[in-house]
Every structure is written in C-alpha cells, then in structure tokens.
Structure 1
Amino acid sequence: MSDRGLELARQKMTDAGVAPAAIDTFSRFYRLLESGASGLVREDDVEPLRDLPRHADLDIDPDAAAAALARTAIIKLNGGLGTSMGMDRAKSLLPVRERDGQALTFLDVIVGQVRAARAATGARLPLVLMNSFRTQDDSLAALARYEDLAVDGLPLDFLQNREPKLRADTLEPVEWPADPELEWCPPGHGDLYPALHASGVVRALLDAGFRYASVSNSDNLGAAPDATIAGWFAASGAPYAAEMSRKTPADVKGGQLVVRKSDGRIMQRETAQTHPDDMAVSLDPERHPYFHTNNLWFDLEALAAELERTGGVLELPLIRNEKTVDPADPASPKVVQIESAMGAAVAVFEGATAIEVGRERFLPVKTTNDLLVLRSDVYELTDDFRLAARVPAPLVTLSGTYKTIGRFDERFPAGAPSLAGARSLTVEGDWTFGAGVVVEGEAALPDAGAPATVPDGARVTADGVAA
C-alpha cells in the first residue's frame, strides 16, 4: 500500500515540475513516515542548552564587522500566504506601519532595512526571497519599484517546493476536485535546502564573492541586517549558527535547541516534535531558558559542500503534521503533511553553534494579535527602518471575531489604539475601536452580547471602557 502511495506521490510531483532534490527529500521522509517514525524528541534523551554567548556582550572590531557584512547575503523566507489570517497572497504584502502618510508593507520595511545597512556600511548586501508559486508574482511586482535593489545580476528570488498531502488512512496523495490546489502543501521551511540546491543560489552567491548568509522569516521585522553578529559569526569559524532568545510570557510555543545526550550534539525540537507528556517541562523557562527565533547564519562554503554531498537531501528529522485536506472544513478527509524545520540542520553541521539575542530580534506576526501590537505606538520605525520598542510589548488576546485580516481592519478603521501604557489587552466579543483610543494597564473588554463600539478618545482599562 505504501509503495503505491510513494510511487503515486513521486509521479504527481514529477508531473508538476517539482525539483528532483525535493522529490528525493520527500521520498526519504515518506519512508520514515511509513516506518512509524513520529519525529518526537523525548525530554529524557536531551539536556537544556545553556550559557550561550550574548549579542549584547559582543566586542567586535567595527572594521571586522563591516568586512563580514560586506560578504553577507540576506535571505528571507517569503512563501507564507497568511492563511491563518484569512489571506490568499503573500503575508509580507500586508501593511504594517506608516511613514509620511504612506502605508509600508513587511517587504517595504525589509527593503528599507537593507538599503539603510548598505548606506551605513558600504556592503552590497543582496536580498533574496524564497518565494512559493503563490507569492512569487505579487512579491516581485512589489519589489520592482526599488530599482537599486538587485546586486551583481543575482536573482531576487528562488522558489520553494511543494508536495502532495497524503490521505491519513492510505498514505496516498489525496484527491480534492473541489479545489485541486488544496491537494498540495508546503514542505515546511526545511525545504530551504533542496530549494537552494535546485536553484543554484548558493553557488551564485559564492561566485559573486559572498561567504555568509543571514536567513529569517519575512514576517519577522526584528531580524534586520546586523554587522556585529556577522562579525561574530565570521570569527567563530562555525558552519552554522542559530539566534536564540530568552523566553517571555508571550513565547509559549516555538522551537528550541537542546543537547542530545547520546553524542552531545545540538539539535532542534519543534513543538510538533514534543511528546504531550513533555510539553510542560519543555515550556518551563527554568529548564529550557531559550526559544529559537528562526534566524540562522550559514557559511556558504560549508552549506554548498553539504548540499553537493547529499544532492540537497539533508538528513533532517521528520515532522508529521495531521490536518484535514480543507483546513476550513473539519469534515473533509484527514491528511498527513510531511514537514521539516530548517533549524534542524543544526545537527547536520559539525561545529554548529548558537548565540543569545535580545527579544528585539524576534518580532514575528503570526496572528492579528501580533499585528495590532506592531502597528501600535509600542514601536517606532527608526530612520534605518528598525522597529524599536518604546515600552515592553503588552500581551494582546483578541477574540475569534478579529482572526481574519478583513474583519480585523474593519474593527480598527482609525488604526491601532495606543498600547504604550498597557500591560495586556483582552477583547472578548465584537468591539469596533474609534480614533484616539488609549489602552491602559491590564485592560479588558467583555463580550457585550452584540457588536459594540469603543468611542473616539475613550480609555480602555481593567474595568472596560472609561470616558
């Protein structure tokens, strides 16, 4: 049964023009899946990662830092559609800030960060997106107005791969004629490696004189180009490094690095790889103080050698993700999505390391809760396009009414309220916010039982709406 399933899946991917390295990677994971591998990393088999060097403590010669950044490329993972927020195009095209009356998207801010770093250091600093088939056209069109962005003829993007969703009962590719696009899924950000191999981007960067790459998600505007980290990484001689941050109350999920007891090697454990019995201890900041920001650094020569040796098929752990073929229809057939995490490559590269960075390097937008904070006066957009926190970010929890970006924007027609004086904001039910609203302390809005309005200029406190 499973041999047939793999054969059908490989043929479907071949017919769709998926790169051979991606098909081989899928095949390796498929065999792990049929063997019953869960990808779980048990707490008894690992030790916490501790005592990392701190970004804040680095003392890197400015000339050495500038020289390292001059040999660095910026790669942004840009395949996300923001489906969890009801979007059907690149999340990075979502407006996130304003400057001089102009709405700026994630991509606009990223370009601003790159151009500012170029101006400050003289680095060429190429920007390369890993797009999906559904984000490529719109994203490249958005970048077209930045005529100075391309570097030395290097591509502005390369394509991630896709793979078929598998029926949970047969492990054969699912068929869904109502929407054939739903028969496919992304392979997780571990697809970075076969996609880099298939595209030839690593070799192109090396041929153009670049030695290092800084990789991060396009929805994380905290991961701006950083010469100090580039200098530290170059001096370390490591083939690979991960940026880790101290856990806060907002970091209840996400990957972490742990030390494998069997060989002392650093490895990654995602939430989906954590056994339910181990979840509480894995989230305990006393036991595991760091979480993974998904900001990575590569020595391109080491990466090229490993991709060449393996044909782009790195031996990453399997992540088994069970869903329904139509995420919006819980009654649709159950499927298995085979995924992997790019951070799991920490176990592939001998000598891989990590560094502790401040929370300012991790500002992801996964939900409209995150978006409201990032659009608010908690942050200011600096001249070099960094998002600088004016105060500690409050914990925002919005009801399901605000889940999709369309409904969210309708309820904040005048923009985000002031959150600079808030420690938290919990909104239940359906509230539309007027202009000039100020949120203070541990604020809460109860469900009014019907759509309600926070008037212009009102304050929201622990007691609800105040005049």
Structure 2
Amino acid sequence: MAAVIGTPPATQTDIITRLRLELATLDQISDNEKAGFLKLVERHLSGKIEEIDWEKIKAPTDEVVVPYGDLAPLSDDPSETKALLDKLAVLKLNGGLGTTMGCTGPKSVIEVRNGLTFLDLIVQQIEVLNKTYGSDVPLVLMNSFNTHDDTIEIVRKYDSSKLDVHIFNQSQYPRIVAEDFSPWPAKGKTDKSGWYPPGHGDVFASLANSGKLDELISKGKEYVFIANSDNLGATVDFKILHHLLKNQNEYCMEVTPKTLADVKGGTLISYEGRVQLLEIAQVPDEHVNEFKSINKFKIFNTNNLWVNLKAIKRLVEAEALEMEIIPNPKEVDGVKVLQLETAAGAAIRFFDHAIGVNVPRSRFLPVKATSDLLLVQSDLYTVKDGSVLRNPARLSPENPSIDLGPEFKKVGDFLKRFKSIPSIVDLDTLKVIGDVWFGQAIILKGKVVVEAKKGEKVELPDELVIENKIVTAGPSFKDL
C-alpha cells in the first residue's frame, strides 16, 4: 500500500473495520454522512492516485472553453428570458466563517457597502430578476454545521420577501486523529472542533441527501448556478444559461484570464478526450513553474459552476463522482488531525458535454481579506440592484494591488482606521505598513506606500492627494 499522510502501521482492512465500529457510536451524523466519510477514507487509504501524464495535456480548444464573446446573443423578448430563468436555481456556498477577517458567524453577513451584506446583495439580485421577468428563481444556501444556526436566524429578515429561500447543510465528517486514524469524536472530542465540512465538492451528494435536488427537479428546474457567497461578481448570466440549454451541456465552469496574482489557481485542460481541471497539487514538481506560467496556462477556475440537476442525480446515485481527494493536515488543540476534502470544480470530468466559458474578469470579485473589502467599498465600484459594478472611469482593466498590514486584518480594525474609504480609481498599487490612520476624502494615485515605523503613528489628514509617493511619519513624502 502506498504511504498515506497520517496512516498508522495497520492494514487498510483493519482501519476500515475499526472506523466502521467507531462511527457506529456517533449519533451526531446520519447514515449517509457515515457512508460518505468511509468511502472517502477507503479511497484515500488505497493510495491510488491518478497520475497526470504531462505529455498528454493539451490546451482546450474554443469548443471546449468557449470565449464569452462567442456566446449567442439573446432575444429581446422578455418572455424568452423568463423561460430561461424558470429552469434555474441559484446555489451559494455559505459554509465559511468570517474568522480570517476577525468576524464571528457566516462570512456572508459581513457588510460589503452601504450597510448591505453579501447575503443582502445576493437576495436583491434574485428579487430584481424575478420581479423584472415574472420568474421564480429560488435561492439555495449550502451551509456547514458552523454556519447553519446563524443562517437560519439571518434569513428570517427575508420572510417578507417573495423570494423562495432553501437551506440545507453539507456533510459533517469527523476529523481523523493522525496518530491512530480514529475519528476524533469517538475519542471524546464531540464539540465542533472534532468535526469538519469536507469541502465544496460535497455539494452534489449533500444536495441529493437533503432532498433539495429532487424538490428542485420536481419544480421544473434544470440547471443550478453554484458560486461562492463571497464572490460579488457571480451573478446570473443569461447568455451562459441560454448556451447550456441550447447545447445540452451538463456542466460549465467559468474561467477567466490569469494574472500574476492567480498563478496557483486551477486551470482547464483537454486530457484523453475530456475536459479536466488541473490543480497545482497534481502537477509534478519539475513542471510547477510551467504550470504557474500565464503564457502556457492562461485561464483559471473562478468556482462559478453551472450544472444540470438531472445529471447530478444520475451521477450521485451511481456513486460516480470520485473527485481527487485533498488531504488537509492540521493541528487542533495540540492534536495532529487529518481532513479529507474534495472540490466541486474537479467534478467536471464526470459530466457529459462539459465545457468552460472564458468570462470577463468582472465575474470574479472575491472578498477574501480586508484588502479586497477596500476595493469594493471604494469609488472603484457602485451597487445597482444588488450587483457590484465597476466604475467606467477606471481605465486599467486590472484592479489596483492592495497590501494592508496586519493592523488592518480584522474588519473592525480596518473600519476604524479609515474615516472614509479613499478614492482609488487612479491607483496602481498601495502598500500600508504599521500604525497608519486615514483621514476623510483622501485620493490615492499611481504607486503609494504609507509606512509607520515601529513605535510611530502616521495619521493622514483629510482631503490629502498622494501620487507616486512614499509617506512616513509627519507625514513626510518621498518620490517613488
């Protein structure tokens, strides 16, 4: 048996037999979750890894990764748009917490701008669609056990809305103790830290196990648009939906051109006659630099996915969705544990007539840190009908590069340090170091560095214009 991270010196059969017995003692999870977990562990322990033959990788053609500009134009008839929308459900991956940005509860309830959260904006977008076209697009939220209770409370604020909101939980799996490959809760760790959600690749099985998949199909829905709740660019796109229905594509991944900031992102390739996602973890060491090249691998996965619901049902029932396993070793409360996870994008190779669509960069606007929050709260964007729209006054197609120091990491600290968000329409790069505070109505242009050395504090006065300068205590200015 091939060596596996955290595997003790025992046979695979011994481990699985013991795991099955230990799982039987856990009543916090369902039989479906136990079965899914066991299958994941068995696959991991088998040591079977599908090696990528680098020589067989081919660049996808325009038939496989369709340029967005090649999608057929839509009819002006609103009844045809309504017919499209009546076949659609929108599913947002809502299992993440806002802990990395210093918040408690679901990340989707962080305020983005004008007092509106990610979830508020998503609800507004779909409400406007339904009102404009007389359609009934439902919003489906996949929570984790970490976000479920809070989300139940939060969505009550939308009770007066006509929007049909569905909630279900993704699987809850036990963390594996690396020392002996036991499920941690079976050893007494029964609080939340003994468990983990197994990645968004679990969306397909959990959608089916929750009963929501059959419910959506029974209502005439044909496609689900899946996206991260923190991607503000992931709105319903009529042209993509029209293309999929017209060509009977079971799966579509939105990809967008790579920049130097995206070199580790997964990319689509043609491999042995099928479209496939290639992740950096699958790349042989000698080809990693080639993979990171934006000249050879020019696109990356946005995790905006369009998937046929009946195809999901067929593949889940056949247990055919065996995406690559991502081993995620961690140390929690001083104990070394292992999480086995999968990614939804890796499922593309199991669906018939799967394609990518090379979309504009505007459809990828994730907020992963306060530096991203600065971008979307600035004059670089406006909000209309729940959609975050880029300011046409920005001439560069790329957003400014923002690097904020650890003093800005938590949302609360970030907000305190800005009297108002600066104007950054003409900004190229911003680097902020140390104890820095921004006044009101500041304008940043070109390349800007603001640095407070250890023990110093830099307070930028109101209405300051900084262009291509290094600013230090005083504040004093030096040309870049």
Q: Please, what TM-score do these two structures have when normalized by structure 2? A: 0.86
The answer to whether residue 93 in structure 2 is matched with residue 77 in structure 1 is yes
13 and 282 in structure 1: CA distance in 2 versus 1, 3 angstrom threshold: farther
457 and 8 in structure 1: CA distance in 2 versus 1, 3 angstrom threshold: farther
The answer to whether residue 71 in structure 2 is matched with residue 58 in structure 1 is yes
Report the count of equivalent residues.
Answer: 450
Larger radius of gyration: 2
- The 3-state SS of whatever aligns with 1:417 is coil
Aligned to 1:329: none
255 and 9 in structure 1: CA distance in 2 versus 1, 3 angstrom threshold: farther
Aligned to 2:275: 266
Query: Structure 2 residue aligned with 1:48, among 31, 55, 59?
Result: 59
1:206-221 aligned at under 5 Å gives the runs 206-221=217-232
- The 3-state SS of whatever aligns with 1:323 is strand
2 CA distance for matches of 1:194 and 1:445?
49
TM-superposed deviation, 1:124: 0.7
Aligned to 2:33: 22
AA partner of residue 388 (structure 2):
L
Aligned to 2:3: none
TM-superposed deviation, 1:433: 1.7
Aligned to 1:171: 181
Aligned to 2:211: 200
2 CA distance for matches of 1:155 and 1:9?
37
TM-superposed deviation, 1:87: 2.7
The unaligned stretches of length 5 or more in structure 2 are 1-9
Residues 223 and 362 in structure 1, CA contact (< 8 A), matched pair in contact too: yes
Structure 1 residues 96-146: Cα deviation after superposition (integer angstroms, max 9, x where no partner): 011xxxx00000000111111112222211111001122123223222222
1:220-259 aligned at under 5 Å gives the runs 220-259=231-270
AA partner of residue 70 (structure 2):
D
Q: More deviation in 70-79 or 226-235?
A: 226-235
91 and 123 in structure 1: CA distance in 2 versus 1, 3 angstrom threshold: same
The answer to whether residue 102 in structure 2 is matched with residue 86 in structure 1 is yes
TM-superposed deviation, 1:307: 2.0
TM-superposed deviation, 1:393: 1.5
Identity of aligned residues (%): 34
1:274-313 aligned at under 5 Å gives the runs 274-310=283-319
AA partner of residue 398 (structure 1):
L
Structure 1 residues 368-411: Cα deviation after superposition (integer angstroms, max 9, x where no partner): 221111111111112x2211111242111122232232332332
Query: Structure 1 residue aligned with 2:131, among 119, 129, 132?
Result: 119
Query: Structure 1 residue aligned with 2:363, among 361, 364, 375?
Result: 361
AA partner of residue 71 (structure 1):
K
AA partner of residue 416 (structure 2):
E
2 CA distance for matches of 1:271 and 1:8?
34
Q: Please, what TM-score do these two structures have when normalized by structure 1? A: 0.89
Aligned to 2:389: 388
Query: Structure 2 residue aligned with 1:186, among 161, 183, 197?
Result: 197
TM-superposed deviation, 1:454: 2.2
Structure 1 residues 167-200: Cα deviation after superposition (integer angstroms, max 9, x where no partner): 3343323479799422222101001012111101
399 and 110 in structure 1: CA distance in 2 versus 1, 3 angstrom threshold: same
1 CA distance for matches of 2:60 and 2:156?
43
163 and 178 in structure 1: CA distance in 2 versus 1, 3 angstrom threshold: closer
Query: Structure 1 residue aligned with 2:326, among 302, 319, 323?
Result: 319
TM-superposed deviation, 1:159: 0.6
Residues 432 and 450 in structure 2, CA contact (< 8 A), matched pair in contact too: yes
2 CA distance for matches of 1:42 and 1:453?
56
Residues 81 and 133 in structure 2, CA contact (< 8 A), matched pair in contact too: no
Q: More deviation in 40-49 or 214-223?
A: 40-49
The answer to whether residue 439 in structure 2 is matched with residue 434 in structure 1 is yes
1 CA distance for matches of 2:299 and 2:229?
22
2 CA distance for matches of 1:39 and 1:429?
46
Residues 260 and 294 in structure 2, CA contact (< 8 A), matched pair in contact too: no
Q: More deviation in 187-196 or 453-462?
A: 453-462
AA partner of residue 22 (structure 1):
E
Residues 445 and 464 in structure 1, CA contact (< 8 A), matched pair in contact too: yes
2 CA distance for matches of 1:40 and 1:402?
42
2 CA distance for matches of 1:31 and 1:452?
56
- The 3-state SS of whatever aligns with 2:365 is coil
Q: More deviation in 53-62 or 353-362?
A: 53-62
AA partner of residue 87 (structure 1):
C
265 and 435 in structure 1: CA distance in 2 versus 1, 3 angstrom threshold: same
The answer to whether residue 467 in structure 2 is matched with residue 456 in structure 1 is no
Q: More deviation in 274-283 or 128-137?
A: 274-283
AA partner of residue 390 (structure 2):
A
- The 3-state SS of whatever aligns with 1:243 is strand
- The 3-state SS of whatever aligns with 2:183 is coil
- The 3-state SS of whatever aligns with 1:436 is coil
Residues 207 and 213 in structure 2, CA contact (< 8 A), matched pair in contact too: yes
TM-superposed deviation, 1:18: 2.6
2 CA distance for matches of 1:293 and 1:353?
14
